[in-house]
Chains A and B, each alone.
Chain A
Amino acid sequence: MTPFELVPLLDLGPLLPELPEFLAGLALLAVMWLIVAKMVAPRFEELYERRAEEIEGGIRHAERVQAEADAARAEYQKQLDQVRAESSRARDEARERGDQIIAEAKERAAQEQARMIAEARAQIAVEREIAMAELRSQVGVLATTLAGRILSESLTDDERARHTVDRFLAELETQPVRALDAEE
């Protein structure tokens, strides 16, 4: 059929190879492979490596920045917690102090009150003692004075006697005060 048959004895039809084309295919593929392997693919692989490095570098940088930010936030949080704890402690202390002050003041007031009451009571007792002593010293005199008056007027006249008693009592009501005032 053609002068370049590789397998001349068998009729392969269109599957019959021809040597020049076969060799041309081999040569073209081989040369192309060589050039691609030496000049094209290494450049692409180098590019991919460079890109991967850059991306990795970027990721690492981002990670570092993230870590720093996390640390700063943790520090800030810690400080904030400290400040919060301190302020709450201060508040508690102030409240305690306040309670203490109030309690002390109440106690003092109660003591003062008790003292004043006791003083007043003592004074009242003293005055009563004085009044009693005054009364005791005067009652006998008064009784004899009264009896003398009743007897000197008419012993039988009931009306008059009663009148005398009444007047005496009226005198008596005014007298001790005056007597006390005079004494002081």
Chain B
Amino acid sequence: MSSAQTTVPAQRERKGTSPALIAVLVIVVWIAATKASQLLTGATSSWESPSTEDFQFEGWFGIGWFNKPLLLALVAFIGILVFWLLASRNLKVVPTKAQFFAEYVYNFVRTIGRDMIGPGYRRFVPYLLTVFCFVLVSNWFGETFLFMFPTFSRVSYAYAAAICTFAAYVVSGFKQHGLGYLKVALVPSGVPIWLTPVIIPLEFISAFITRPLTLSVRLFANMFAGHMSIMVFVGGGAALLTWAHNAFYNVTGVVALLFGMVMLCLELFIGFLQAYIFTMLTAQYIGSSVGEAH
């Protein structure tokens, strides 16, 4: 990475001079930078590719379950609550800049709820907001230096979030329709009566098993794979950059690191996308529960 930062200004300075000179300069600076990084961190000669082991964390302070993901979840929890409690204090009809931002986020989630749930969506907005913020912040922790770990690449958190959503739409369905919710959930309107023996098991699996399962696995797998690929590019790039006695590896390492940065940006986007999808699907499931028969 350090070499990349030095080569780019060099290229810019020499604009207008001959291309051959630029190429030579780039190569010289590049090699110098890789050598310097080797001197700084010491040369490597082996690298273990990341595996699922990298997602296991030891507990701290002798407490087995108090580990990094839990700490990150706590940080996200406290951070989100502090943000919202501060933001919702002293709200003005004419918003300040900070309030405008908070309102923008709140309204973003609220609009998802309104579009997906329809009338009576307001009592679900708090849950949607909670889930959206928690998933979004946890996902972005994967790209936050110092943390560099998306909480939801631990599948347990994804299961927990999916169970909460499951509870939300099942409970709200029973509250809305009583036992009639089973009919709403299991028998789509307009299905001929002789098809119901086939449809009901399918709908049951769809509504009560695959929905929470896909919700959690989708979120988990995206975060897991994203974090893995970043580890491959950044860790592997760093190893290549400092590889002993192999200039080609060193050069490739810079490319890998640069691509790692691109992946990081992509992961930021995917982190948002997953939070959005999770929130939207939650709202849609709640909508199908509290709405009329689908």
A residues with a Cβ closer than 8 A to B are: 2-4, 13-26, 28-33, 35-37, 39-41, 43-47, 50-51, 54
Contacts and interface: CB of A to CB of B under 8 A. Distances in A.
Contacts of A45: 122, 125
Contacts of B130: 29, 32-33, 36
Contact of A36 (B73, B93, B126, B157): B126
Contacts of A35: 81, 84-85
B127 A18 contact: no
Contacts of A25: 73, 156-157, 159-161
8 contacts: A16-B155, A19-B156, A24-B70, A26-B164, A36-B81, A39-B88, A44-B106, A47-B91
Contacts of A18: 65, 154, 156
Contacts of B224: 14
Given A21-B65, A40-B84, A44-B106, A28 B126 contact: no
B52 interface: yes
A29 B93 contact: no
Contact of A43 (B81, B91, B129, B131): B91
A70 B131 CA distance: 52
Interface in B103-120: 103, 106, 110
Nearest to A38: B126
A contacts with B: majority SS:
helix
B91 A20 contact: no
B70 A29 contact: no
Contacts of A43: 88-89, 91
A136 B126 CA distance: 143
B141 interface: no
A156 B87 CA distance: 163
Best-surrounded residue of A26, A28, A39 (most CB of chain B within 10 A): A28
A4 B91 contact: no
A58 B196 CA distance: 55
Contacts of B220: 14-15
A32 B85 CA distance: 11
Contact of A50 (B85, B93, B163): B93
Given A26-B163, A41-B125, A32 B134 contact: yes
Contacts, number: 113
A45 B203 CA distance: 36
A88 to B, nearest CB: 55
A41 B121 CA distance: 12
Contact of A30 (B85, B92, B164): B164
Given A36-B84, A47-B91, A29 B159 contact: no
A32 B133 CA distance: 10
Contact of B126 (A3, A14, A41, A47): A41
B224 to A, nearest CB: 6
A90 B169 CA distance: 82
Contact of A21 (B93, B106, B154): B154
B52 A29 contact: no
B214 interface: no
A44 B91 contact: yes
B192 interface: no
A22 B156 contact: yes
B171 to A, nearest CB: 12
Contacts of A19: 156
B43 interface: no
B259 interface: no
B217 interface: yes
Residue among A20, A21, A35 having the largest count of chain B Cβ atoms under 10 Å: A21
B77 interface: yes
Sorted from nearest, which 5 A-B pairs have the closest CB atoms?
Answer: A25-B160, A20-B65, A21-B156, A37-B126, A43-B88
A23 B154 CA distance: 13
B109 to A, nearest CB: 10
Nearest to A25: B160
Given A21-B156, A25-B73, A32-B77, A13 B93 contact: no
A29 B160 contact: yes
